[in-house]
Amino acid sequence: MSENTPRMALGTMHFGTRLPETRSREILDAYLDLGGLWIDTANCYAFWGSETGLGGQSETVIGQWLTDRGVRDRVRISTKVGAEPTRPHSFPDAVEGLGKDTVHRAIRDSLHRLQTERVDMYWAHMEDRAQTIPDVAATFGDLVAQGLTARIGLSNHPAWYAAAANVNAQQRGSARFSALQLRESYLHPRPDVPVEGEDHPHGMMTAESKDLAGRCDVELWAYTPLLTGAYEHPERPLPEAYEHPGTHNRLAVLRKWSDRLAMKPSQVVLALLNAQQPTITPIVGVSSVAQLSEAVQATRLTLPEEAVEELNAAG
């Protein structure tokens, strides 16, 4: 990865559904031109936006773009398994889960849609407590051994699960989970209040997951880093769980540094995630090339040390 590579992943959740294929390809083209590397998707994207009630649209758009542009060697593809409904419109009551046969079938289906022989990161999208940790670790480790993915990660799993799975992988001599994908932003909800629209009970990034990442060489990826535009669009209110004094204090400091640095609040947030220790890679979903350009610019910026300290201490 060069110094000019944006320190982010492009989120493609709505490609092929809410965002039509033409717009999706424009964003992919621009991301490539801007030096982007990681493209993040999932086999279930976006079943809730499709008349079929099933996913696969995002992978299909990306796969056709990769083939048409001939640029597979210039990007890294990240996709997921575990949250696709087993019947149309059946989430969350009936989802595929992480059983061995399901995962092996799902990755081959994803590779077919993506028109590639392997992906660069394959995530367990959500917990499946019906499977044992050793079984899940073995299932995903086998995918690396078979050359179907370069790396494996856990999305929406607690830190203790990742630690236990990696101990098991070490004992087996197989690939370990080298990344955690969780919800994280500058603002944080109250821990005792459910976040509206958040389907994963262990989806929030915590101090424990950050500690695990820093001590055990595990990357952190953050989804919903910009809270669906709430930092700059007052017409998009934050979920009730964010209504507490810490939010107001943090927003005041964010506005201060946004004005001082002549950056949008969302750009400060992205730069701040990159500045954390351990570093957090934001997954940024956009609906226009202009939004993408602003996000890429932000991830290339280095915030003043004073800004990082004051923003982190606020609240």
Q: 125: closest CA among 9, 49, 24, 223?
A: 223
Backbone angles phi, psi at 215, to 5 degrees: -95, -20
- Which residues, 6 or more positions from 69, have their beta carbon under 8 angstroms from its beta carbon? 29, 32
CATH class for the domain made up of 9-242+266-303: alpha beta
Structure tokens at 83: 């949250």
Do the Cβ atoms of 295 and 229 come closer than 8 Å?
no
Q: What distance in Å separates the CA atoms of residue 185 and residue 200, rounded to the nearest whole number?
A: 16
Q: What ranges do the domains of the chain cover?
A: 9-242+266-303
Note the pLDDT tens digit of each residue in 14-71.
Answer: 999 999 999 999 999 999 999 999 999 999 999 999 999 999 999 999 999 999 999 9
Output the pLDDT for position 214: 96
In this prediction, residue 61 carries a pLDDT of 98
SS3 of residue 51 by DSSP: coil
User: What residues does 265 pair with on adjacent strands?
Assistant: none
Model confidence over 260-278: pLDDT tens digits? 999 999 999 999 999 999 9
Longest dimension (CA), the chain: 54
Predicted confidence at residue 82, as pLDDT, reads: 98
- Those residues of the chain that have pLDDT short of 50 are none
pLDDT of residue 2: 61
Enumerate helices (H) and strands (E) in the chain, giving the number of each: 10, 8
In the numeric block, the tokens 């999305």 are attached to 155
- Pairwise CA distance, residues 267 & 226, whole Å: 9
pLDDT in the model for residue 1: 60
pLDDT given for residue 308 in this prediction: 98
| Whole-number Å distance between alpha carbons of 221 and 101 | 27
Q: Return d(Cα 79, Cα 122) in angstroms, integer.
A: 5
